[in-house]
Amino acid sequence: MKTLLVLGIGNILLKDEGAGIYCMQALKKKAWPDNVTFVDGGIFTQDFFGMFEKFSYLLVLDAVRGGNKPGTLYRLKAGDLVETRKNNISLHGIGLLDSLKMAELLGNKISFTVVGVEPEEIFWKKGLTKTLEEAFPDFVELAAREINKILMS
């Protein structure tokens, strides 16, 4: 049976930077099969490589800087993530990619997708901006569709 880790990453103390965590929390409240696990990854994505061996698929929820209008939704695969700090589109992509590479070196190459939302503001304050609050239901819905798609494949 396919096992899925839904990893919300971000910092809820930095406004829209916490969007991935909030999305994971919203999804966790829904009914899912036992083979779906939800984890609040915070900002330490480089520390998760050991956990990946327990799962066949990873869904990452995150704020993503893609250069588009705030609230824009993204669905990204491995090839969409740029591996340089200069051009990195995910706010946590390097730590995550490093963690995925470490897992692969240990013999566990995990398939993954990133579902994200373009942040508007990142500063010291809890909650989402009005723009992301408006986009949030669509963000959660896109992530839920992705979970179902992964489970059905």
Q: Per-residue pLDDT tens for 30-71? A: 999 999 999 998 876 556 667 778 899 999 999 998 899 999
3-state secondary structure at position 14: strand
- What is the reported pTM? 0.87
CA distance 41 to 146: 19
- Ranges 21-35, 86-100, 116-130: which has the least confidence: 86-100
* Average confidence (pLDDT) over 89-94: 48
* Average confidence (pLDDT) over 119-148: 97
Highest mean pLDDT among 26-30, 64-68, 92-96, 107-111: 26-30
Q: What is the CATH number of the domain that holds 36?
A: 3.40.50.1450
How many domains does the chain fold into? Answer: 1
Return the exposure string of 90-120: e unless at least 16 CB atoms fall within 10 Å of the residue's CB, then b.
bbbbbbbbebbebbeeeebebbbbbbbbbbb
Q: Which domain holds residue 42?
A: 4-152
| 144: pLDDT strictly greater than 80 | yes
| Strand duo 57-63 + 111-117: pairing | parallel
Query: In the prediction, which pLDDT does 34 show?
Result: 96
